[in-house]
Amino acid sequence: MPTLSELMAANISNAMTNVKTWGGVVYNVKEYGAKGDGVTDDTLAIRKTIANMPKGGFLFFPQGEYLVSQIDSNDYIFKIDRPIKIMGTGLQSVIRVKAGTPATCNLFYISPDMNYGSEFYGVRDILIWPQTPDSGGNVFYIDVSGNGQTISNFLMSDTYIQQHGGKAVKVVNAENKPDGFFHSVFERCKIYGGTEFIRSGDNISFRNCVFRGKNRAIEVKSVSIPAQANYPNHFIIDACNFDNEGGVLLVHFAKNLVIKDCNMEQTSLLNGAVIDVLGDDTQVVNFVMERCHLTAFSQAGSSCDNIRLGNVYGALIDKCTMSNEVGGNNIVIEADARKVRIGEIQFNTGNQIVNKGSFSNVEYFYDKPVTKVKATGVSVIDSAQNFVQFTTEDFDRYGMFDPALPHRLSATIPGKYLFVADVEFSPNADGTRAAYIVKNTSTTLANVTVNAYSLPGAPTRLQVTAVADMQVGEYVQLWLTQASGVTLTANVSFSMIKVN
C-alpha cells in the first residue's frame, strides 16, 4: 500500500504530466515553455497552453512568478472561450502584469464561444499582482453579452487579487438578454479593486472574502431592464470583511439581496454611503441586512452615510451596530423607499435614522423594550412651547407609556435608548417649524428646526432622533414650536427603543 507521501508525490507528478485528476486534465504552463522566473515574459507560453486545452481542463501554474503583458492589439492578454479552471499552488503561484500595460487591457477575457450548460469555470489558489501599481485593466472581464452565451457555474476560491487599473472582476451581459452569469460563488478570496456586475444573473454569492482598495467593493448595475427580462436575483454576501475607500456596496437594481455577518468600513468616500441601495435603474426588491457592523470614516467636510435606501420595496435591517465617525447619518430612508423594517440596531456615533419619506413606510421592531405612540390633530400655538399628549399606542412592551401621563414615555428598565419622532405640520408656507426631544422636562436631547414647506397645500415634515442613557423612572417628552403667525395642527409618532 503506498504511503501518504507517495500518494502526494504521485498527485504532483500527475499535475506535471497532464494526467487526468481532480475531475479534469491538468495542463502545466511550464510544459509549454513558461519560465515562471519573474523576468521572462511568459505570455506566449501561457497562450499556447490555453490553445491546447479542451473544455474542462485545469490551467495549472506551479510555484513561480509569471510575468505577462499585452503583446498585440487585443484588449486582453488571455482569452478563455470554454469552461476551464485556472489553478495555482497558493501564494507561491504569482501572475504579475507587466509595468506599462494599459488600463484598457484586461488580464483574462472570459467569453464562451457557445452555451456549455452547467460546466464549471473556476479560479483557485493563485496570486495576481501588478508589477507596478495600477498596471493593466480588469483582471477578470467576463463577457456573456453575445447571443446564447451563458456561464452557469463559476467558482473563485482562495485567490488573492491586488489592485490593478480596473476591476478585479467585471461581469457584463447584454440588455434584455434572458441568460447570462448564474450560480456563481466567490469564497475565501482577498480582492483589491472591487467587482462589478452589469445585468449579470441570479444566485451569486460572496462568502468569507476580504475586500480592500480604493474602488467600491461590489457594484450591481442594470440599465433599462423590463420586468420580464434578466436581472440580478438572489445576491448573497456572507461573512465578509470590507475596508474600501470607495464604499462597500452600490446597487442600481437587484432582487433578493442579502448581507449577513459582515464587517464593513470605508475611509474616504465623499457624499455617498457605505451601502447605497439606490434602485435608480429599477426598483430594488427585498433587501436584508443582519448581524453586521458598519463604520464610516469620512474626510472632514464630507457627508457620508452608512446605509442609504432609495427606490426599495421591502427592506429589513436587524441586529447591527453602526458608527459614523464624522457625524453623518447611519441610516437614510429616501422618499421612494417602501416597506422598510428597522430592528435591533446599536448606534455608537453619528445621526441615527433619517426618514425622508412617508412615516407609514417604516416599521421599528425590537425584541427589547420598545414603544410607539401617536397623536393626531395636535394644536400647536404660534411662538409657544407645545407639549405633545399622545392618544394612541401602536405597541408598548414593558409598559413605557402610561395613558394617565400621556405627555411622556418612561424607562422601565435602565439602559441606552433610541428616540425617534416624526412630525407632520398642517400646510402653511410661513415661518419655521421645530421639534425637541426633552429628558425629565429640563434637558434637551435633540432638536430640529426647518423652514416651512413653500408649496401651496403641502404639509411640512420633520424628524428628530436622539440616544440617551435612562434610569428607571426617567422620562422623555416631545415639544413642538412654530412661527407661522397662526395656530397649526400636527400629526405625530414617537418611538422609544432600548438599544443595549
On whether residue 8 sits in a domain, the answer given is no
CATH number at residue 493: 2.60.120.40
On whether residue 384 sits in a domain, the answer given is yes
Scanning the structure block, which residue is given the C-alpha cell 408649496? 455
pLDDT given for residue 179 in this prediction: 67
On whether residue 287 sits in a domain, the answer given is no
Look at 100-109, 255-264, 302-311, 349-358 and tell me which has the smallest mean pLDDT. Answer: 349-358
Give first-to-last CA distance, the chain, whole Å: 61
281 versus 320: which is more confidently predicted?
Answer: 320
Task: Classify the C-alpha dihedral 67-93-214-157 as positive or negative.
Answer: positive
Structural domains of the chain, count: 1
For the ranges 123-137, 321-335, 428-442, the one whose mean pLDDT is highest: 428-442
- Please provide the average confidence, as pLDDT, over all residues in the chain: 86
| 440/438 Cα distance (integer angstroms) | 7
On whether residue 22 sits in a domain, the answer given is no
Residue 445 makes CB contacts below 8 A (sequence gap 6+) with 419, 437, 438, 439, 466, 467, 468, 476
21: confidence class by pLDDT, cuts 50, 70, 90: very low
On whether residue 424 sits in a domain, the answer given is yes
pLDDT for 25-54, tens place per residue?
Answer: 899 999 999 999 999 999 999 999 999 999
Look at 9-13, 117-121, 190-194 and tell me which has the smallest mean pLDDT. Answer: 9-13
On whether residue 419 sits in a domain, the answer given is yes
On whether residue 52 sits in a domain, the answer given is no
pLDDT at residue 1 is higher than 50:
no
Q: What is the mean pLDDT of residues 192-197?
A: 92
On whether residue 211 sits in a domain, the answer given is no
pLDDT given for residue 168 in this prediction: 94
pLDDT for 118-127, tens place per residue?
Answer: 788 999 999 9
pLDDT at residue 494 is higher than 80:
yes
pLDDT for 274-297, tens place per residue?
Answer: 899 988 877 888 999 999 999 887
Instruction: Say whether pTM exceeds 0.85.
Output: no
> Which residue range is the domain that position 416 belongs to?
372-498
**Can you read off the three cell numbers belonging to residue 276?**
447605497
pLDDT given for residue 2 in this prediction: 34
Task: State the number of CA atoms in the 13 A half-sphere of 288 facing the CB.
Answer: 14
pLDDT at residue 407 is higher than 50:
yes
